[in-house]
A and B are shown apart, each in its own frame.
Chain A
Amino acid sequence: MPLTIPREEYMEQGHTACAGCGAALSMRYMLKAAGPKTALAIPACCWSVVPGEFPATNLKVPLLYTPFAAAGAAISGLREGLDAQGKEDYNVFAFAGDGGTADIGLQGLSAAMERGHNVIYIMYDNEAYMNTGIQRSGSTPYGAWTTTTPVGMKRDFKKQNKKFVADLMIAQNVPYVATATIGYPEDLERKISIAKSIKGPKFIQILSPCPPGWYHNSADTVKISRLAVESKVFPLYEFKNGKFSLFKPSKTARLTDYLSLQGRFAHLKEDEIKVIEESVNERWSYLLKKEQS
């Protein structure tokens, strides 16, 4: 049977990601499309540890580790440094978590995109600071338990909505913006390939389920990723040269199908689930309108 994604692997076995790690799949898929002529910058996040400790590295592309807030600046420097040597045909990627993108790294990301460097910024979104042990980030959704939004007597779960960084990038008119998730590898490969073909800044947000952080069975990582799309919790869209298009899944799922597999939502009462449902629907109609306008 023909393979539906590239055969070549640029991520080796033996990395230290948790069993069933969605971010490991994100990296694996990203590199398959990126290929060997790729320079990578990774700020503090799970992936600053996953490649392995000294003297090992599990990636077959050069990888520069950077300070937490520095992914945007680092890819700017890598790009200009390579261009100064006539290496315009090399790809420059950032691979950063949601904390390093939505929170501490947002300024650097926004500025790198605004300056227009020919780079691709990948945000692997596991919806909390997972490497430090599940603290809430700006990208954590409403309703989620985290270790800094613990469910207690007086204060419980995250009460604020998720900050959608990809939406911010569209607002900045970045030439190519997309959301993706590991449950749709072919779609993800396609989006990375499109990003590579466009000169200028690109941003892709990849929802990457996290078994220990979301309290789900490690076997359900891919399933939950698909349910996120089918339940419209994490819509897949593309913004290319000013044109917005929304993916409408042929198979739909109920919100509770998505939530019930994850312990981080186990405490939610019916009215609280209703709040999520309303905001999911609201967002979906907002995105539909965006597509039509």
Chain B
Amino acid sequence: MPFLPITYASTSTKILSSWRTSKPVIDYTKCTRCAICWKFCPDVAIDLVVDSSLKSPNEKFSSLEAPSIDYDHCKGCGICETECPFGAIEMVREEE
């Protein structure tokens, strides 16, 4: 077969963390698991996970899927911080 200009490989192995100047950190005690941050992430870098270690003072929230930042692919745009209605996400400056 000829050398075709066709690409199949996944991009998810690409690590983009060096693009960031600051990173979002979720305060799970404030997070209501509304998934708005997941919805607005242009980098598909927020997963929804069931993880009992991500504690919330409210029992109701603890059993729900919680957002978890994929720091390999987050570019640090900060949309999640702006859009979070509960102030549960804070952008923290990356160290040099």
Contact = CB atoms under 8 A, between A and B. Distances in A.
Contact of A25 (B9, B40, B45): B40
Interface string B25-65: 00000001111001110111100100000000000000010
Given A211-B77, A219-B82, A9 B11 contact: no
A14 B78 contact: no
A222 interface: yes
A202 B72 CA distance: 37
Contacts of A11: 44
B67 to A, nearest CB: 11
A13 B44 contact: yes
A21 interface: yes
Most buried by B among A14, A15, A57: A14
B19 A19 contact: yes
The binding surface of chain A is classed by DSSP as: loop
The binding surface of chain B is classed by DSSP as: loop
Contacts of A286: none
B93 to A, nearest CB: 14
B70 interface: yes
A52 B19 contact: no
B7 A55 contact: yes
Contacts of A22: 42
Contacts of B79: 20, 218-219, 221-222
B2 to A, nearest CB: 15
Contact of A12 (B10, B33, B39): B10
B64 A52 contact: no
A20 B77 contact: yes
A15 to B, nearest CB: 6
Contact of B33 (A1, A15, A54, A220): A1
A58 interface: yes
A245 interface: no
The 3 closest A-B CB pairs, nearest first, are A219-B78, A14-B11, A20-B77
Interface of B: 5, 7-14, 16, 19-20, 32-35, 38-40, 42-45, 48, 64, 70, 72-73, 75-79, 81-83, 91
21 contacts: A1-B64, A4-B35, A12-B11, A13-B11, A13-B12, A14-B16, A15-B11, A18-B75, A19-B42, A21-B42, A24-B43, A52-B11, A55-B8, A56-B11, A57-B7, A57-B9, A218-B78, A219-B91, A220-B82, A222-B83, A223-B83
